[in-house]
Structure 1
Amino acid sequence: MIVTITGASSGIGRAAALAFAARGDTVVLAGRSRTSLDRVAAECRDRGGEAVVAPTDVADRQQVEVLVDLTVARCGRIDVLLHCAAVMAYGEFTKIPPEVFERVLRVDIDGTVHAARAALQRFEEQGEGHLILVGSVVGKMAPPFMSAYVMSKWAVHGLARALQAEVRATPGVHVSLVAPGSIDTPVYQNAGNYIGRVGQPPPPVGDVDKVTAAILSLTDHPRRELSVGWANPVMILGFRYLPAAYDALVVPLMKRLGLSRTTTPPTEGNVFEPR
């Protein structure tokens, strides 16, 4: 199987790349940092898979198109495009610099659009293929101090749902959404930060391997959506059906559980450049 993975340098993307490689699949690794991608590629080869490194900024449509073309040129086809790339910024909405907020949307929303379009155009030509988008539980609820990221994940969930209806005309093409809860990855520590305390995954914290297992399951048995995290339904129900209670509780809980005690000056994090 030929699997192209965006956001492959760390977190869910890296874990998925290693899992696919362990199965003997060929992985095409996309991300902004060539150094990090080379390191992940070496890990993939050690596990028995083939790995191609393709530095890519998903916010740039042409770079994403080149990524898909490179996959086909090097590997003959593309079976799965797993889109994991995302950045995040903490802070009250009015305190996050506009350029940082807008960059999060360009990476997380426009990047998803670019990846989906390039993949689906190729899948239509092939008559088959599988687009897997990594969403989040925050695509169905709205915690504070992460407004750009929340907005982007709601958009990703909406796009996935619209595309699932459209691809029904091509039975060999699938669109799936993976919606993890709180997962221990570097996205929290690497985020832009305008709230003064370094972010952390709020409990209950899941293991990245569970997300990877869900992704592998989807490639073998395509489904519309997989939620990863036992607490996800509880949080979503509270948000939808007890909005007053949710709003009263979520700010103090976020300050206590979603932010570490480690202080930080204002920082762009990895929003514009990889860290």
Structure 2
Amino acid sequence: MVITGASSGVGRASALAFARQGARLVLASRSEPALETVAAECRAAGAQVRIVVADVTRPETVRAVAAGEAVDVWVHTAAVMAYGRFEDVPADVFDQVVATDLLGAATVARVALAGFRARGRGVLIFGGSLLGTVVTPYTSSYVTSKWGLRALVRALRLETRDAPDIHVCLVSPGAVDTPIYRNAANFAGRIGRPPPPIDTADKVAEAIVRCARRPRGTVTVGAANRLILFGFVATPALYDLLVGPLMRIAGLSRERIGPHPGNVFAPPPASAESAGGGRKRPRRR
């Protein structure tokens, strides 16, 4: 099994979930120290692990991930994020988010599907997002990427209908407690955070493991996802009226921060990348 984006968040949780089931893993991300940490945890769980430093915006490094491997499942969760009004986010930051989250996914798909076609089988699982079906302000580059990813996955699914043992899947969670929010580029003046209700990365990883065993086209993770999507589609005027204030209250913390590019162009320190999420999960009433 290959996991790109394995050094943190859902990718890290997925690596550990597969490791506990005895999978042979190839873990890839931009940060070698963070990969070493995750690999050690996976080996402690009994898995065989190989790590590859790779950047999904550089196709030659993605090709190296699967070199010499007979890949059964490829999980792609690598993503970056930027906060701020569209006109406040520098063009190079916006473009890099799209290049990583959308074009990087396309690069992974090219490599993975080439191997699957040669073997006649395989499961490709993309980490999507609720923001691939709805829109929030201050996240325009991320939203653009995730909407594009959903279209790409649908197109790939149609184009692999001639190969019944090749599956292209999308696992789309709502808010998840991962480091992506604090590590994001920020031009909004306040550090981002996952709006409630918040799920754990482990819960999303469980859905990915189930999808690997019994592939499904689209899997949604999150108690409020369907309600939010219903509001976006059925009552767009009300959604547009409420989403801005709700995003400012729940999606941005009160912690002030100056403009910075976050981890968009380079990985953060290993401790920040491989550690847990942004905040503790609130108790459900």
For this structure pair, what is the TM-score category when the shorter chain's length is used for normalisation?
over 0.9
Deviations 1:64-102, CA, capped at 9 Å, x for gaps: 112122xxx2xx410011000000000000000000000
| Structure 2 residue identity aligned to 1:236 | L
- The equivalent position to 2:183 in structure 1, one of 159, 169, 190, is 190
RMSD: 0.7
CA apart distance, 1:253: 0.3
2:13 is equivalent to residue 15 of structure 1: yes
Partner Cα separation in structure 1 for residue 43 and residue 66 of structure 2: 21
What is the aligned partner in structure 1 of residue 277 from structure 2? none
CA apart distance, 1:28: 0.6
Partner Cα separation in structure 2 for residue 194 and residue 172 of structure 1: 44
2:57 is equivalent to residue 59 of structure 1: yes
What is the aligned partner in structure 2 of residue 99 from structure 1? 92
2:214 is equivalent to residue 216 of structure 1: no
Deviations 1:166-216, CA, capped at 9 Å, x for gaps: 111011111110000000000000000000100000000111111011001
What is the aligned partner in structure 1 of residue 4 from structure 2? 6
What is the aligned partner in structure 2 of residue 33 from structure 1? 31
Structure 2 gap ranges (5+): 269-285
Deviations 1:248-269, CA, capped at 9 Å, x for gaps: 1000000000011111110100
What is the aligned partner in structure 2 of residue 177 from structure 1? 170
Query: What's the TM-score once normalised by structure 1's chain length?
Result: 0.96
2:119 is equivalent to residue 121 of structure 1: no
Partner Cα separation in structure 1 for residue 173 and residue 48 of structure 2: 27
Partner Cα separation in structure 1 for residue 59 and residue 228 of structure 2: 35
What is the aligned partner in structure 2 of residue 151 from structure 1? 144
What is the aligned partner in structure 2 of residue 266 from structure 1? 259
Partner Cα separation in structure 2 for residue 218 and residue 231 of structure 1: 21
Query: What's the TM-score once normalised by structure 2's chain length?
Result: 0.93
| Structure 2 residue identity aligned to 1:98 | A
CA apart distance, 1:50: 0.9
| Structure 2 residue identity aligned to 1:141 | V
- The equivalent position to 1:137 in structure 2, one of 114, 118, 130, is 130
CA apart distance, 1:150: 0.2
Q: SS at 2:160's partner residue?
A: helix
Partner Cα separation in structure 2 for residue 95 and residue 27 of structure 1: 40
What is the aligned partner in structure 1 of residue 44 from structure 2? 46
CA apart distance, 1:245: 0.6
What is the aligned partner in structure 1 of residue 250 from structure 2? 257
Worse-matched range after superposition: 58-67 or 106-115: 58-67
How many residues are treated as equivalent by the alignment? 268
Q: SS at 2:197's partner residue?
A: coil
CA apart distance, 1:29: 0.7
Partner Cα separation in structure 2 for residue 111 and residue 169 of structure 1: 25
What is the aligned partner in structure 2 of residue 89 from structure 1? 82
| Structure 2 residue identity aligned to 1:11 | G
Partner Cα separation in structure 2 for residue 224 and residue 250 of structure 1: 28
| Structure 2 residue identity aligned to 1:24 | G
Higher normalized contact order (CA 8 Å, seq sep 6+, divided by chain length): 2
| Structure 2 residue identity aligned to 1:38 | E
| Structure 2 residue identity aligned to 1:5 | I
What is the aligned partner in structure 1 of residue 220 from structure 2? 227
